[in-house]
Amino acid sequence: MDEHHDHAIALSIAQAVEADAELIAALIREDEQARRDHEFAMQLEEDSDATPETDDDGDHVGLDDETYHTLHAFNVAVQPSENTEVEMELSDEEDHDDMSFGEEDETECGSNPDEDFEGDADDQSDCTASQEDFSYMDEDEIQAEETQPDETQTEDAEKTNEERDADEHPGTADQFPKDEVYDAPCSHGMCQPCLIRSIQTAMKDESIFPPKCCGQAIPVDNTNAFITEDLLTEYDNKREEFETTKRTYCSDKACSAFIPTRLIEDGIARCTRCEKRTCLNCLSEAHEGTCTDDPESQRVIRLAEEKGWRRCEQCKNMVELDHGCFHISCRCSYQFCYRCDEKWKTCDCPQWDEEQLMARRAAIAAAAAAPAPAPAAAQRQYHPCRHQGYVRTNALFNYEAEDQAVLSPNDEVAQSKPKTSLGGKKNIVFILTDDQDAVLDSVSYMPKLKEHIIDKGTSFVNHFTTTAICCPSRVALWTGKQPHNTNVTDVNPPYGGFPKFVSQGLNENYLPVWLKEAGYNTYYTGKLFNAHTTNNYNSPYPAGWTGTNFLLDPGTYDYLNPIYQHNQEPPVQHKGVHTSDLISKYAHELLKEAMDSPNPFFVAIAPVAPHSNVNLRRQPGNPSAPLMTIPIPLERHSHLFEGVKIPRTENFNPDSPSGVSWIHKLAQLNDSSVSYLDDFYRARLQALQGVDEIVEQVIKQLEDAGILDETYIIYSSDNGYHLGQHRLPPGKECGFDEDIRVPLFIRGPGVSSGSIENAVTTHIDLAPTILKLAGADLRSDFDGTPIPVLPTQENKRHEHVAVEYWGGAIAEGEIGGFDGKGQIFAQNNTYKGVRIVHEDYNLYYSAWCSNEHELYDLKTDPGQLNNLFPHDDAKASAVLLGTTTGQVLNRLDALMLVLKSCKGNTCIEPWNILHPEGGVTSLKDALQTKFNAFYKEQVKVRFDRCEYGYLIDAEGPQVGYEYREGLEWHHWT
């Protein structure tokens, strides 16, 4: 690929391409005319054997290489028709063989050092790369493969451009007999190939479903004469899936087929593809009895029995009778008797318990007799008073009817109190930036963040994201699950984005939904997920939020032309208005709304800074202008930080290449590129000043309302960022610390001020942490565990982070990409990683889908420049952690084998899988010499092939051996 493969905006780019249609059409006409002129000139030559020149790549006749590759990189197929109009649609081809980058595996064919890290070569695997797969070939092999003609190529070379076009596309609509052309609702004619392609494309992406022509839906049911019965059946099935609000998918990850509601009976969903059954309650494989097998459900049931709660027979929710009669009207509308659980009123129970009512009356009277005095400051600031047309009942003005009843003195005191939290629940504000680094020192340029949050709270200096790219990281954060368990592994369909989030059933099963169930009001403003667009924002609407103001594609990263969408109202584009000022305004409004309610609240504020600016509406006449450019700060901040440069660490533009795969092939950056990177760095710092102002605004708003000390404030970023480290152009997606280590600061009631916490924490720990701060029950299926926010909380934690990534890497900015010639997409960036931080060691180990490996000791090599992975016996025997590098690698690889497919508590305590008898909870424990043979013979991590998403059959071995004390090797196996 010669241009972008930025999945983050692949769907949205269609609008930009459409805007350039006139330009592309002009290019096609010019190219065609030039070809005709050339043919005519050749005919005039005396050489009768001369033939007209043709394009090397007949697939994009009429487009210059730069424009064609830009469109193709975004999976946009551009087909010039005879009348020079350009039809654009998402490509229906999902096979990426034509996009091989040409990485060279560092191992020779026939050898595989990862089978035994100590240098043995007993089990060498064969190379599996086919001739068509260039991923394992060097450049000479690729060139030879590409230039070696076959009979088909020879025949094709002799064809004219018109003949090639006819082979690829039989003709335009006006070239077909009338009875072979489908009349679309917009009166355009569509030939059968175009109609079928349009239907197939729409079925692959919910955001463009149903298929349309000129914005009008095509009634596929009326196209029987043009499409096969199988395609119509497939379309009907897909329509049923997209029209189902609460969807169920097969619990078998290898299947994951949609199960329509007509196949669901008695809480069991039957999959017709694999014939397996799925429990509708727990979404796992169907089981006998009620769905109460998980420990968390059992704990709730036991608590209900102790408290005397009742369970609604219809919706299974727990109900507690605080006061009143026994007639219960559940929120599902089912009515039953609290005393005997029978349907109301089919029992002989009394209406109420008179003793209970008397006790309740006594409690109310006792509470009213001696009300607690309100603090003097609160009385002054929050006193209720009557004015013309409104009554002031708190720090903000509530406009009410003038004839409202006058408050009694006790009522006045109750309403004048600053809102703490009902039932001990605290308020929570989460500020989440986009692509903010922790390693490159961006936080040091945010004085308000330091003053109000860092100095007043705790800094978690070993906090990591599990996947260094936006959407998978955010989904992991809001669900508390590893990306391999959410199956949202990219920023765009088919493997990621908001449509994938919905199709995986996560829209009803993430943090805001759980917080609402715990009694919280929930609010969100800013970027939620990628591929959350003006077309799909309401299909369905993101669940769980009391109030929202979302940023939407294609305006998410357009700093000066953002598109926001409030609650379920239509989206609005704000031309010429800076996105940071808008999100500041919306954050203030949502926080005001939250404070007006008596309920505790959770408010998430997600600005896009300091992400690159992405302009999806490039100007006609300049189609090659970069889509991703330097972030645009607010005008009032654009003069700041003159002369500031990227920290010149040892891994910044190093003299020698580092890393593996495509990273190892990067050329050293020249002086102009380095200067550009410094400009980019300053722009990022300037863009973050808008975020810094939001931090101060939130603090002041909470302080003015008297609830700052009752509110937890969390500050973090979805992933990190690199700028010149390892010779990399601007971007993320790598496993280096610049990309996976992110800021995390927390302040709030009981949190230590100005302290530093060294515990290893990850994004999948944040959802459990927030639920714990909210006083809500934790979920048994969390892959993460609560962070020790308070000094009183237990601080014994694991030392590992499971890192994973699928798909390509993207070069942002304008410095020439990965090859200095505009190559901004690198293939084969799929890898697994394990990051381990302990007071005695600090390691990173990775295995790539090309089966290349990395091992870095960050205690001696913080820049991750010296790859310790052994390619020979000498390296395997080198000393590391008091033993050999090979012995350490055997342990790390076994740990990765568990983590790469872990679920729930296995992700938290993976060593228990390897040592079920206990005694091993860390790498240090596992390095005991008595385990050497066990780890040497353990199943090794490897990939069977590179994929762009989580396809388990490409991921190699999934299960290893368990260690049993005193057994011989044949007993383990």
Copy the structure tokens of residue 420.
């703490």
DSSP state of 620: T
Q: What is the pLDDT of residue 896?
A: 99
Best-predicted range by mean pLDDT (36-40, 97-101, 184-188, 492-496): 492-496
Q: What is the pLDDT of residue 222?
A: 77
Q: What is the pLDDT of residue 90?
A: 37
In the chain, the largest separation of any two C-alpha atoms, in whole Å, equals: 116
Q: Stretch 766-788: mean pLDDT, rounded? A: 96
Catalytic annotation, pick one of 194, 213, 470, 849:
470
Answer yes or no: are the C-beta atoms of 803 and 899 closer than 8 Å: no
Token pair 């424009």 in the structure block, residue: 67
Q: Stretch 844-848: mean pLDDT, rounded? A: 99
Q: How confident is the model at residue 217 (pLDDT cuts 50, 70, 90)?
A: confident
DSSP string, 310-371: EE-TTT--EE---SS-SEEE-TTS-EEETTT-PBTTSS---S--HHHHHHHHHHHHHHHHSP
pLDDT at position 130 over 70: no
Is pLDDT larger for residue 770 or for residue 416?
A: 770
Report in angstroms the alpha-carbon separations of 591 from 488, 583, 802: 30, 12, 35
Report in angstroms the alpha-carbon separations of 956 from 152, 370, 376: 36, 69, 67
Cis ω before 246 (30° cut-off from 0): no
DSSP state of 294: S
Active site residue 385: no
pLDDT in tens, 560-572: 999 999 999 999 9
DSSP state of 901: T
pLDDT in tens, 640-675: 999 999 999 999 999 999 999 999 999 999 999 999
Copy the structure tokens of residue 377.
């400051």
Answer yes or no: are the C-beta atoms of 777 and 295 closer than 8 Å: no
**326 φ, ψ (degrees, to nearest 5):** -85, -5
Copy the structure tokens of residue 877.
């025997």
By C-alpha distance, which of 954, 804, 117 is closest to 486?
Answer: 804
The answer to which of 299-308, 335-344, 767-776, 796-805 has the lowest mean pLDDT is: 299-308
By C-alpha distance, which of 356, 347, 348, 341 is closest to 309?
Answer: 341
Q: What is the pLDDT of residue 333?
A: 64
The answer to which of 97-106, 233-242, 739-748, 912-921 has the lowest mean pLDDT is: 97-106
To 10 degrees, the CA torsion angle through 618, 622, 624, 627? -20
pLDDT at position 297 over 80: no
Question: What is the rounded CA–CA span in Å between residue 204 and residue 212?
Answer: 14
Q: Stretch 945-953: mean pLDDT, rounded? A: 95
> For residue 659, is it left (φ>0), alpha (ψ between -120 and 50) or beta?
left
DSSP state of 398: B
DSSP state of 107: S
Q: What is the pLDDT of residue 193?
A: 86
Q: How confident is the model at residue 366 (pLDDT cuts 50, 70, 90)?
A: low
Signed CA dihedral, 21, 26, 32, 35: sign only: negative
What Rg do the C-alpha atoms of the chain give, in angstroms? 31
Is pLDDT larger for residue 559 or for residue 398?
A: 559
pLDDT at position 830 over 90: yes
In terms of pTM, does the model score above 0.75? no
Answer yes or no: are the C-beta atoms of 707 and 788 closer than 8 Å: no
pLDDT in tens, 165-202: 444 444 444 556 767 788 888 778 888 888 898 898 88
Q: Which domains does the chain have, with CATH numbers?
A: 308-352 (no CATH), 424-618+627-791 (3.40.720.10)
By C-alpha distance, which of 496, 591, 501 is closest to 546?
Answer: 591
By C-alpha distance, which of 386, 303, 462 is closest to 843?
Answer: 462
> For residue 788, is it left (φ>0), alpha (ψ between -120 and 50) or beta?
beta
**465 φ, ψ (degrees, to nearest 5):** -90, 155
Mean model confidence pLDDT for the chain: 79
**858 φ, ψ (degrees, to nearest 5):** -75, -10
DSSP state of 726: T
Question: What is the rounded CA–CA span in Å between residue 533 and residue 15?
Answer: 11
pLDDT in tens, 474-491: 999 999 999 999 999 999
Question: What is the rounded CA–CA span in Å between residue 47 and residue 55?
Answer: 21
Tell me, rounded to whole angstroms, the distance of Cα 515 from its chain centroid: 20
Question: What is the rounded CA–CA span in Å between residue 134 and residue 143?
Answer: 10
pLDDT at position 843 over 70: yes
Question: What is the rounded CA–CA span in Å between residue 400 and residue 404?
Answer: 7
pLDDT at position 96 over 60: no
Q: How confident is the model at residue 282 (pLDDT cuts 50, 70, 90)?
A: confident
Say how many C-beta atoms besides its own lie within 10 A of residue 188's C-beta. 14
CA angle 768-769-771, nearest 5°? 65
pLDDT at position 618 over 90: no
Question: What is the rounded CA–CA span in Å between residue 205 and residue 312?
Answer: 39
pLDDT at position 940 over 80: yes
Q: What is the pLDDT of residue 221?
A: 78
pLDDT in tens, 521-550: 999 999 999 999 999 999 999 999 999 999
Answer yes or no: are the C-beta atoms of 855 and 844 closer than 8 Å: yes
